[in-house]
Amino acid sequence: MEKNKLKEILNTLSLKEKIAQTVQLNGDLFTDSGVMPTGPLKDLGLPDNFDIHQVGSIYNVNDPEKLRMIQEQAINKSSHGIPLLFMSDIIYGFRTIFPLPLAQAGSYDFDLIQKAAEITAKESYLSGIHCVFSPMLDVVRDPRWGRVMESPGEDIYTGKEYAKSVVTGYQGQVKDYVSENHVAACIKHFAAYGAPEAGREYSTVDMSNQRLFNEYLPTYQAAIEAHALLVMTAFNVLNGIPSTGNKWLNRDILREKFNFSGLLVSDHSATEELQAHGFTANQEESAKASIEAGVDFDMMTSVYANGLEPLILSGKVDEALLDEAVWRILKLKNKLGLFENPFRGLDQENTGEFLTAEAKETAVELVEKSCVLLKNKENALPLSTQQKIAVIGPYGKSKFTLGFWASVSGKAQDTVTLKEGLENNFAKKNLTFATGYNLFDSYESFGPLKTGIEHLNGPIGDEKELIEEAVEVAGNSDVILLTIGEQFLESGEGASKAKLSLPDKQIRLIKALAQLDKPIIGLLYTGRPLVLTEIEPYFSSLLLVWYPGTMGGAGIANLLSGQASPSAKLTMTFPRSEGQIPIYYAQNTTGRPLNEENKNTRFVSKYSDESNEPLYAFGTGLTYNQVDVKWLENMENLTFTESNQIKLAYQLENLSNETSHAVVHLYMRDMAASIVQPFRKLVASQFIKIEPSTKEELAVTLTKEDLSFSDNQGEWHFESGKFGFYLVAYGQEEELIISL
């Protein structure tokens, strides 16, 4: 629709109709005929006659038929026929569920990540979804927080690259319209939601502007520069002001500084929670604070629905603020082509378009490239096809490997289990299975889903019998493949933990199996870094598989058999103990850094009861083969070109007779700066493939911007001086110090 026609619509809307556009509710609350039963109406504090024409958007309905019916009702009931916007929590896959974002990011294959996002967009589009509530771009450095699984991790460079790939994959190249098979991206949670105090969900965030601008805002900004169309506010207080009512954050920084012209949606009930935070005294004040802070959509409360009208009629809020919000909402609906086709995506003949061969292949590749080989003593991996393998632990057969958010649209039934994957790569006669321990202690909490879950996961067993059976099965094998970790409800939203070690029942099983004195290969299923210090010595090898998604079993089996080689890097540090948290690689050195010479003295920066080092640092990730890495000659003489670039060139030499895939990381250190810079900072990565017995020359180009840092006002500066560059791959680190 042309802009002037859209403006005409805005100009003819009544106050009530405009307010309706800003209301976003969970679509499940509405019946197919677009009305809301009295229970939910009362809970939300909405008036009795409230129905679908009083909302602008619904979320988390993924059933095309229901969406069609609701859209029909909305259009018929609205005097201007304005269609609803459909949003959904599609975080790492719609029907084809890919590995968790924390895992995907570690592949450092950003083209592949973009492809996975394109597939997710297409499957969402074909289900009638217009916009997805992702990517989550909160930098995370505290594994006690359950939502780390949704984030690309602790590193800024990694988060920025992930942000660009996912936003571009979802939206395609947006000119005037979001094209067919694509959806709008809603990045979240603005801002710094990933740094809650003590890792406790929804807790306060307090950080310096230096840290905010340098470390926590750049990932969101990268997504905005990649044209993300929506942003979601965060639940937390940031430096004393809740994000949802924070004018400085949402207007001065997001809109003015980052030039964001899209739509700002509050997180679920966050407008209402302004009162619980102690920031507003009542619903009316919450509505005022949110609209003044530039929040366009109010998700899942009656704050705007009830609060805006009296505020505007009494002159306490300028109607222009509402007009601004509604204009942004109408523009987004128009960008999605909803005025021309409110049934966008729903009018397709969809059969066969989900979980296509291409989607499955992409998912398998992403599993192979995102599982991290943490340990491989005496090259216990890959396994030989001659070995008798005892697969112990519930993840041998379980289909619950999709992770917390996949329950919104994914189907556990689709999952390729580890057993199915292994049976494809190894002779069935060499594989035996035992459950080992209960993945879920009880099914009661699943309510009506209980029977289905039990059917897919198997009955709950007696611990003693499970261990005995496991030891017996393992006793007849050459090697034990043991699946350990968390179950999917232990991470995700509302899943903070103070203890990060494995449950005792798993530790008891590991110790019982260790008595057999056979190599134990651990497969770690988890949504967060765990504390594995106690059990790590029992394992010959450890492969971190995260929650690998629909095709998990196939990708993992390819890695175990050596058909694929691991290449991924950890995007989040695994601590040795909880007391080290927050622990991340890009720390400042301190004035008294710990080193070999001073390690036995008192007044240095260290713990008296624990090492300073993590168990597995950011960037850890072994491969099956070895390649030599070195800088090319004369790199010390580099200077900036006229366009302010430097080109760092290096050589790889594959001495083995196998093709090698790996990730090369390039870190830097600004040796002396007016604001102290981290000891190491990742500035580039390359996913490489190098043929057997070959040498290859590669290069990374950096700009002055890549070497700069922000001041406390968010202005970036380059300061000349000495810089260290560190090329890291295949367990080697090559240093280069230059003056720039």
Q: Do the Cβ atoms of 62 and 98 come closer than 8 Å?
A: no
CB nearer ligand BGC, residue 142 or residue 267: 267
Amino acid at the residue 715: E
Question: Min. distance of Cβ 188 from ligand BGC in angstroms?
Answer: 5
Tokens 């943490």 sit on residue: 374
Question: Min. distance of Cβ 67 from ligand BGC in angstroms?
Answer: 16
298 Cβ neighbours under 8 A, 6+ residues apart:
22, 23, 24, 266, 271, 287, 290, 304, 305
361 Cβ neighbours under 8 A, 6+ residues apart:
none
Rule CB under 6 A: is residue 72 a binding residue for ligand BGC?
no
**What residues from 536 to 575 belong to the interface with ligand BGC (CB under 6 A)?**
none
CB nearer ligand BGC, residue 329 or residue 524: 329
Question: Min. distance of Cβ 265 from ligand BGC in angstroms?
Answer: 9
CB nearer ligand BGC, residue 202 or residue 725: 202
Residue 4 — φ and ψ, nearest 5°? -65, -30
Torsion of CA 491, 190, 582, 366, to 10 degrees: 50
CA distance 622 to 566: 7
**What residues from 264 to 323 belong to the interface with ligand BGC (CB under 6 A)?**
267-268
CB nearer ligand BGC, residue 493 or residue 536: 493
Q: Which of 285, 217, 302, 358 minimizes the C-alpha distance to 45?
A: 302
Residues in contact with ligand BGC, shown as a per-residue x/- string from 177 to 196 under the rule CB under 6 A: -----------x--------
Concatenated DSSP letters of 79-129: TT-PPPEEEE--SS-SSSPPPPHHHHGGG--HHHHHHHHHHHHHHHHTTT-
Q: Three-state SS for 144?
A: coil
Question: Min. distance of Cβ 69 from ligand BGC in angstroms?
Answer: 21
Question: Min. distance of Cβ 230 from ligand BGC in angstroms?
Answer: 11
Strand 709-710 vs strand 695-703: parallel, antiparallel, or unpaired? unpaired
**What residues from 231 to 270 belong to the interface with ligand BGC (CB under 6 A)?**
267-268
Rule CB under 6 A: is residue 661 a binding residue for ligand BGC?
no
Asked, as a colleague might, if the bond just before 382 is cis with ω within 30 of 0, I would say yes
Rule CB under 6 A: is residue 130 a binding residue for ligand BGC?
no
Catalytic residue among 267, 296, 414, 670: 267
Rule CB under 6 A: is residue 86 a binding residue for ligand BGC?
no
Which of 319, 323, 493, 628 is the binder for ligand BGC (CB under 6 A)?
493
Question: Min. distance of Cβ 408 from ligand BGC in angstroms?
Answer: 8
Rule CB under 6 A: is residue 89 a binding residue for ligand BGC?
yes
Question: Min. distance of Cβ 402 from ligand BGC in angstroms?
Answer: 17
Rule CB under 6 A: is residue 213 a binding residue for ligand BGC?
no
CB nearer ligand BGC, residue 56 or residue 485: 56
Strand 479-485 vs strand 389-392: parallel, antiparallel, or unpaired? parallel
In a 13 Å sphere around the CA of 505, the CA atoms on its Cβ side amount to 22
* Three-state DSSP string of 444-492: HHHHHHHHHHHHHHCCCCCHHHHHHHHHHHHHCCCEEEEEEECCHHHCC
Strand 263-265 vs strand 230-233: parallel, antiparallel, or unpaired? parallel
- Residue 51 catalytic? no
Which of 30, 92, 133, 440 is the binder for ligand BGC (CB under 6 A)?
133
Which contacts of 76-80 are long-range, i.e. CB under 8 A and separated by 24 or more positions?
77/34, 77/51, 77/52, 77/53, 78/17, 78/20, 78/53, 79/17, 80/9, 80/12, 80/13, 80/17
Q: Do the Cβ atoms of 552 and 525 come closer than 8 Å?
A: no
Assigned token pair, 648: 């760092």
Q: How far is CA 28 from the centre of its chain?
A: 25
Question: Min. distance of Cβ 268 from ligand BGC in angstroms?
Answer: 4
CA distance 647 to 633: 13
CB nearer ligand BGC, residue 188 or residue 375: 188
Question: Min. distance of Cβ 84 from ligand BGC in angstroms?
Answer: 16
Question: Min. distance of Cβ 125 from ligand BGC in angstroms?
Answer: 18
Q: Which sign does the torsion angle of CA 495, 500, 503, 504 carry? A: negative
| Alpha-carbon distances of 587 from 41, 612, 639, rounded to whole Å | 50, 12, 27
CB nearer ligand BGC, residue 133 or residue 157: 133
Q: How many residues does the chain have?
A: 740
CB nearer ligand BGC, residue 319 or residue 493: 493
Question: Min. distance of Cβ 91 from ligand BGC in angstroms?
Answer: 8
Tokens 């990517």 sit on residue: 135
Rule CB under 6 A: is residue 578 a binding residue for ligand BGC?
no
- By CB atoms closer than 10 A (0-12, 13-18, 19+), residue 451 is exposed
Question: Total number of residues binding ligand BGC (CB under 6 A)?
Answer: 6
CB nearer ligand BGC, residue 233 or residue 306: 233
Q: How far is CA 6 from the centre of its chain?
A: 35
Q: Which residue blocks in 493-609 are alpha helix, DSSP H?
A: 504-514, 552-561
CB nearer ligand BGC, residue 51 or residue 493: 493
CB nearer ligand BGC, residue 150 or residue 365: 150
Give the interface with ligand BGC as residue ranges (CB under 6 A).
89, 133, 188, 267-268, 493
Residues identified as active-site: 267
